[in-house]
Amino acid sequence: MKTMILRALPALAMASLGGPALAVIDFESQATGLVSSLSATDQGVTATFFNGGSEMLAVWNLSPYSAPASWGSRSVWSGGSSSASGPTTGNFSEGLSWVSMEFGDFGADDDQIFLRAYSGLDGSGSLLGSVSLFYDSSRALSNADFVTLSVGSATPIRSILFGSVGYQGLNNIYFDNVRFEKAGVPAVPGPLAALPFALGLLASRRRKRS
């Protein structure tokens, strides 16, 4: 039994030093093209994105257009086949304490980019946070110029509404790297609390050996 605990210790210590894991949805495993909805899972939380109605999302490979390397080879265009008229929705299978997203496009239009968080699915319930940022027409992903919007809340976040008000007042912006933390996950992970005990055990075992 003690041997098992000792064997587990290095892994335990490694996990603790890394801190709480941050979920990241980077869309890299998605196929390019138009989709009515897009789902991805990380850290046990499934995120589902859609525009609703007949409006689509479009998965693009922006690397040939000199998008930032951190955007990889898959990103999502909120405007679908043309430009969506309303915000894009993101639903989460579990409540979150914090969510952030990266946005940008290739100049051409002024974009008022926004991210709003809600306690219910599909933008229902209480508005828990709202951020907005102006990304003028001179700014472009090809200059590694993107913006990151984030919202945190003590009440668990179950959905977000986001996008831009851009050309002709429509929602037309690329987004990528959706990061989030599950609600109720302590800042110090569980294994760290057990570490002093485990180290004490290790010390006592070493003393017995010597």
Binding residues (CB under 5 A) for Ca ion: these are 26-27, 71-72, 74, 105, 109, 111, 166, 172, 176
Report in angstroms how near the CB of residue 90 gets to Ca ion at its nearest.
15
Report in angstroms how near the CB of residue 152 gets to Ca ion at its nearest.
23
In whole angstroms, what is the distance from residue 121 CA to residue 210 CA? 60
Nearer to Ca ion, 91 or 177 (CB): 177
What separation in angstroms does the CA of 52 have from each of 4, 86, 90, 111? 52, 9, 11, 21
Nearer to Ca ion, 74 or 116 (CB): 74
Report in angstroms how near the CB of residue 172 gets to Ca ion at its nearest.
4
Report in angstroms how near the CB of residue 44 gets to Ca ion at its nearest.
21
Backbone angles phi, psi at 16, to 5 degrees: -70, -40
Q: Which of 165, 208, 145, 182 is nearest to 21 (CA)?
A: 182
Nearer to Ca ion, 80 or 166 (CB): 166
Q: Which of 61, 120, 112 is nearest to 90 (CA)?
A: 120
Nearer to Ca ion, 118 or 175 (CB): 175
- Cβ-closest position to Ca ion: 166
Residue with tokens 């000792």: 6
